[in-house]
Amino acid sequence: MKLCKFTDSDYQAVTEALENRSNMDLFTHDEVVRKILLDLKEKGDTALLEYTKRFDRYDLSVEQLRVTPDEIRLAYSSVTEQEIAALKEAAERIRRFHERQRQESWRYDEDGISLGQMVRSLATVGIYVPGGKASYPSSVLMNAIPAKVAGVDRVIMCSPFPDGETRPHVLVAADIAGVTEIYKVGGAQAVAAMAFGTETLPRVDKIVGPGNIFVALAKRQVFGIVDIDMIAGPSEILIVADHSANPAYVAADLLSQAEHDEEAVPILVTPEEALAREVMVELEKQKKSLSRQRIIEVSLGKECRLLVTESLEAAIDLANRLAPEHLELALEDPEYWVEKIQNAGAVFLGHFTPEAVGDYLAGPNHVLPTSGTARFSSPLGVYDFVKRTSVISYSQAALEKCGKNLNLLAEMEDLGAHANSVAMRIEGGKIKS
């Protein structure tokens, strides 16, 4: 970890590096991923099974690709009633929040013209759920429930089963969320299977969900064949704190992101140098008792920054520049300062709103823009699972009224056929010369 004050000679370099951060190399493995995609496109299930055996060490038959109802029932028997209740509560809170995002079709009429927009759900959506360093039932809920609220009929899920190891919490979460089909495949090959379709897996309209570098690259390469949600980078948190903050709370929340993976980015921004130093002590103290200490150590060593600014205003300005995935305002008056926030995936207000509540139970989506992309993008939501179609209707009188300007606009672009298509209707079939 590194403590850096606004008076230090390298402060500007440190903050600029954070502003331009992206730890994901989206080019190194391009050719590897491209080959996997081509193999899946050409060979379908055969290639999917081969790559699953090679990368996940799981020798499946075609008949074993899809999770069966018996396997779902077995998963329920492996999960406690308390855990099921917790998953159901989370699902209900996520559902209630996302129901407020529903969009309706609309029309309006004026002078013989009817204009509007039809909102239609996507037909088939694919969800990718990682299966490497941890089990992520919360990601299942966050990706699947908005799709179901949007009205998507067919929600399929792909998740690796390394060495054939099942993850009952993930399967139970999928069932609770309304996932229609689950397949035991992961990596770039799963993305390819969803994008192109195979003999067993359906082709989807959109792929959502996080994954490793190979998954990210595959999503990028199939974009345009299908839609994707985003290219997710490492998890990150930025905490803006003032004198009222509890250094133990701040450290705990920084550690909650550091444990995600070695590339996770925990940042504290504060005008209080004493607080920053107390947080450093707490980080060293608390990490010793955590189960993922090795991962935490790497993240803190590589990515953690404790930045001391000239003022709280400067801290807020820096937060907007960095556009973090998760932003905590550990401030005396967070309601005042939240109005100053322009760029963040999600904002957590006050001393009793740890980022962890957003990961699991609050309701807003935890699939958020990373690596500064909150400058121009938004959390996953119902709006990601619908498409909008414009509707246009003109009466004869309305077309005649605007005919002159239509003609002028077509002539500006030297598109005579456009002008003729209007003139045919206005001038009784006479082609404009």
Catalytic residues: 325-326
Yes or no: say if 304 and 1 are a contact pair by the CB < 8 Å rule. Answer: yes
- DSSP conformation letters of 119-137: EEE-SEEEEE---SSS--H
Strand order in the sheet with 106-110: 106-110, 113-121, 386-394
- In Å, how far are 407, 410, 419 from 414, measured between CA atoms? 10, 6, 9
For residues 316 and 309, what is the distance between their CA atoms, to the nearest angstrom? 10
Yes or no: say if 88 and 178 are a contact pair by the CB < 8 Å rule. Answer: no
Q: Which backbone phi and psi does 298 adopt, to 5 degrees?
A: -65, -45
Helix 396-412 × helix 416-426 angle, to 10° = 160
Tokens representing 16 are 């600029």
Name every residue whose Cβ is closer than 8 Å to that of residue 250 and which is 6 or more positions away in sequence.
Answer: 239, 241, 268, 275, 279, 282, 330
- In Å, how far are 16, 70, 223, 250, 344 from 239, measured between CA atoms? 18, 45, 33, 7, 12
For residues 204 and 222, what is the distance between their CA atoms, to the nearest angstrom? 11
Residue pointed to by tokens 């919360």:
138
Q: Which of 242, 243, 128, 235 is nearest to 192 (CA)?
A: 128
For residues 42 and 47, what is the distance between their CA atoms, to the nearest angstrom? 8
- In Å, how far are 393, 411, 413, 415 from 423, measured between CA atoms? 17, 13, 16, 13
Instruction: Classify residue 349 by burial, with Cβ atoms within 10 Å: 0-12, 13-18, 19+.
Output: middle
Tokens representing 408 are 């002028």
- DSSP conformation letters of 8-29: STTHHHHHHHHHT-----SSTT
Instruction: Classify residue 46 by burial, with Cβ atoms within 10 Å: 0-12, 13-18, 19+.
Output: middle
For residues 121 and 298, what is the distance between their CA atoms, to the nearest angstrom? 42
